[in-house]
Structure 1
Amino acid sequence: MSKRNLDETDAVEVEGQDKKRLKSPNPGLLAASPTSTPPSQASHPVLELSYLAKDAKGAVNAVPFQLPTQLISFSYTPDRVLEFNDSALRYFVDPPRGARLSYGYDRWVRRPEERGRIDSLLKAWQKFGTEHPGALGEVGVVSWRGVMTKILTAPYEERDSWELNVMLVNGTMYFEEHLSEEKLQSKNDVGPRHRIQMYYGYSFESWCTSESPSPASPSGNPIQSMSDGHPPGWGGDVNTNVQWCSVVKTKLGNTRMVIGGEVDCVRGMYTGKPDNFVELKTSLTIRGVSDEARFEKKLIKFYFQSFLLGVPEITVGFRTPSGVLSTVQSFRTIEIPRLVRGKPGAWDPALCLEWGDRFLRELRSAIDVPSVDTPTPDSGKDGVPSNLPVWRVSFSPKVGITVKKLDKAGVMDVEAGDEEERIGFFPKCSLSVRIYFMNCRQFSYARTAFDQYMYTPPSGLGACEQWDLWALEGPEGLQIF
């Protein structure tokens, strides 16, 4: 990409809104296209952003990325209950060669695909904030790892489009993946062939993990023994409700980020740091040049999924078409780009980071503008805003990004889909907490109040009501706004 200042833009007036279009200094920059969002749910674009074509010639600016540091972890139980402990943490064990990845398929408990809500990530961040007041400073982005992976790998995505919902609250951009009802249905209604291939990946995780550190095999890796009539090495039947998640802080360019994501297991003892996290993947056994090329193309997502959480190791189980584990190979995350460098179809992580940095800066600039319908402090009951702007980011392969502000119908669609009372895609109580903390400087009181009302609530009060009560009765009459 040209080293020309990427902040240089042309301002184009579009029906009362400022629309920014990045100037294209060379033919490698592709033109933007309209979003797929229905016209009735979004206004005219406020930003159209193209990216550097993967085969374009020119210098790529090196954008620094800070080594991720874990802030907090949490678990989901088999009943999908969030717990702030490590009960779902798994430990790496050496899987048996020849393992049947179809084993246990008929007992698979599959969690239905849902909207990509950030509720648990918000709860984790808020819990960390009460225990470590002021530790993070200003945060530019809060997102799940999967969303950031989509953003960073966009320059090399040739097939799949995607959409995000974005909210800007007190200077922080919050991202959630937008899935229409049609997409949710298609994700849940998968055919038998696709379903069994999905299961192979989860089964591999079971063959590779244990609930506790195990004795080492002659190879030096832990092993599992047979239990309850299952074959040796089986780690337990698959229930995708169960997850262990890590929340990290990192920085891309000048944007501080809080990112959460599932971690498959750790190698050895858990240290509370990402330095022994392991990501588990499956892939078809490589039988020729075309298979090798397909595998190397997949490595970009393997790489960034681990890179963003600071996971240093990716272990890949190579399987036959019928789901028999043939070989297992571990890769150091930082070394993966070297495997594809100079090859046909190679991808460059530096280009992805430059694009990601540019995307975040341009997006923030486009949506951080006053609006005539911006809520005022008293626009909602108990001082909580009754509405906040929601923006739709739409990505088209080989084209780029379009950003539009959702109208009322679009926001209502974002808020729908579950029983939670929401403002945009924020749970109302989480929004109350977030806004209050950003404005409350008496952190010692804030922590005391959090412990008192969130964890030992007065009888008959729900979580949102607890926070409203606390805000209204706070020191010096501080209010949520």
Structure 2
Amino acid sequence: MSDIQIPLPLVQTSLSALPMYQSPHLIATYSHLPDRSIQHSDASISYHKGASIGDDLKAGYGSYIERDPLLNEHLDGLCQSLLKYRKEGGSLKSGALITWRGMLTSYYTTSPYACRLLTAAFSDRDTWEMNAVAFNGNVYLEDHVTKEERLKRIEEEKAYKQQSYFGYSFEAFSTTDVKPKAGKTALEKAKKRKRPSEIAVNTNVQWCCVVKSKIGVKIEVGFRDAQGTLINLETFMTSQIPRTIHKTPNAPWDAAICLQTFEALVAQVLGQVITTDPIPTWKSEGADLSSIPEATVWRIKFQPKQGLLMKKLGAYTPENEDPKQRWGFLPLSFVEKMLE
């Protein structure tokens, strides 16, 4: 089968009808512990307490422990969470795209931020690749980065490692792992609890602190000077950010165009990948768990200003992975339990 080209849709205005998306709702939570094991609880949650002007964001630099950048965890945590959700009575709709948030928006690279599906219309430089597989009526999407590319990224990131740490540090100054309770004493303990030198594991660069309140979700953004001292704090309501950007002269992106482009691209990706789901036929032929058919994995490459290039890989197993433990790039144990 030849490669499939999906061009960027010609969306020229933000006045066109918007796709109908619901606000997200929580179905499950889990935490990565310091050893990267998964616990189905809020064990790793941090609570907002607010940083202070004058905080030294360099504090603790050189003694913190990072997540192994060569570790490829695929969608394993998400899969475990979905299994728990189903065990507790939840069900998955067919025709869904299942992936991480960053696969839809952006991810941190040697360039400031590389655009993904939701922001593809405004990306003019960065390329990226993803793997996709259809399983039991839904399409799962994961990042595709080779070991060589990861090593190259590690080397390039050394040049601004301390600047990246400022983001970790701001998060630590802004949050605490002790849930604040009513009363001055508890809040004082919370404020003393967590400083940057106590950071155990960091998984993402955070330049802002996300706060959920009764009126919606807010982000608190910290601004620093060249020496890494926090000099200003600003808070934004996430629901208002697209409107604010829209009013900005020469706005770098437009929320309506992002949604329209995303809808068009994902509809075509789902349409191609879902047809290679072997499970419906397998179910109609008897659904013997001892003979689950092979997965068909696709490679999706984004070409700036052009669109997506899709290639069928067939029965693909990620590099350095045991094919007996994987169904495509999904955990085989997840596949088997979902089909029981």
TM-score, normalisation: structure 1: 0.60
Kindly tell me: are residues 50 and 213 of structure 1, through their superposed partners in 2, closer, same or farther at Cα, counting changes over 3 Å?
Answer: same
Q: Would you say 1:234 and 2:195 are equivalent positions?
A: yes
Partner of 1:335: 240
2:65 maps to a residue whose letter is V
Residues 122, 252 of structure 2: 8 Å contact kept: no
Which structure 2 residue ranges, 5 or more long, are not aligned?
A: 106-115
Partners in 2 of 1:217 and 1:324 — Cα distance? 30
Change (3 A) 1:129 1:376: closer
Is residue 98 of structure 1 aligned with residue 54 of structure 2?
yes
One-letter code aligned to 2:62: D
Write the distance in 2 (CA, Å) between the matches of 1:132 and 1:376: 24
Q: SS at the partner of 1:312?
A: strand
Q: Distance in 2 between matches of 1:419 and 1:370?
A: 19
Identify which of 5, 28, 42 aligns with 1:72. Answer: 28
Preserved CA contact (<8 Å) 2:59 2:196: no
Gaps of 5+ in 1: 1-16, 18-43, 228-232, 244-261, 268-274, 278-309, 437-481
Residue 201 of structure 2 aligns to which amino acid in structure 1? T
Q: How does 1:221-260 map onto structure 2 within 5 Å?
A: 224-226=190-192, 234=195, 237-240=198-201
The amino acid of 2:233's aligned partner reads: V
Distance 2:277 2:72 in 1: 27
Residue 100 of structure 2 aligns with an amino acid whose one-letter code is: W
Report percent identity of matched pairs: 25
Q: Which residue of 1 aligns with 2:120?
A: 154
Question: How far, CA to CA, are the matches of 2:339 and 2:150 in structure 1?
Answer: 31
Match of 2:80 in 1: 123
Q: Distance in 1 between matches of 2:319 and 2:339?
A: 19
Which residue, 373, 389, 396 being the options, matches 2:303? 396
Shift of 1:234: 2.1
Deviation at residue 159 of structure 1 after TM alignment: 2.2
Q: Secondary structure at the match of 2:125?
A: coil
The answer to which of 385-394 and 326-335 deviates more is 385-394
Aligned to 2:45: 89
2-structure distance, mates of 1:370, 1:225: 53
1:365 positional shift: 1.6
In the alignment, residue 130 of structure 2 is paired with which amino acid? L
The whole-number CA distance in structure 1 between the counterparts of 2:322 and 2:101 is: 22
**Post-superposition shift, 1:51?**
3.2
**Which residue of the partner structure matches residue 312 of structure 1?**
217
> Which protein has the larger Cα radius of gyration, Structure 1 or Structure 2?
1
2:244 partner amino acid: L
Displacement of 1:190: 3.9
The Cα shift of 1:168 comes to 0.6
Alignment of 1:371-410 (within 5 A): 382-385=289-292, 387-407=294-314
After superposition, the C-alpha distances for 1:382-433 in whole angstroms (9 at most, x for unaligned) are: 524352100011101111111110155xx23x25347981121011111112
Q: Are residues 90 and 58 of structure 1, via their aligned partners in 2, closer, same or farther at CA, if it must alter by over 3 Å?
A: closer
Say how many residue pairs are matched: 322
Partner of 2:326: 422
| Partner of residue 132, structure 2 | 166
1:196 pairs, out of 162, 171, 181, with 162
Give 2:111's aligned residue. none
Equivalent in the alignment of 1:36: none
TM-score of the aligned structures, taking structure 2 as reference length: 0.83
Cα distance in structure 2, aligned partners of 1:78 and 1:158? 37
Tell me what 1:247 maps to.
none
Code of the residue aligned with 1:351 in structure 2: it is I
Point out which structure has higher relative CO (alpha carbons under 8 A, 6+ apart): 2
> 1:433 and 2:321 equivalent?
no
2:9 paired residue number: 51
Question: Of the candidates 139, 142, 157, which is equivalent to residue 176 of structure 1?
Answer: 142
Whether the 8 Å contact between 2:126 and 2:304 is mirrored in structure 1 is yes
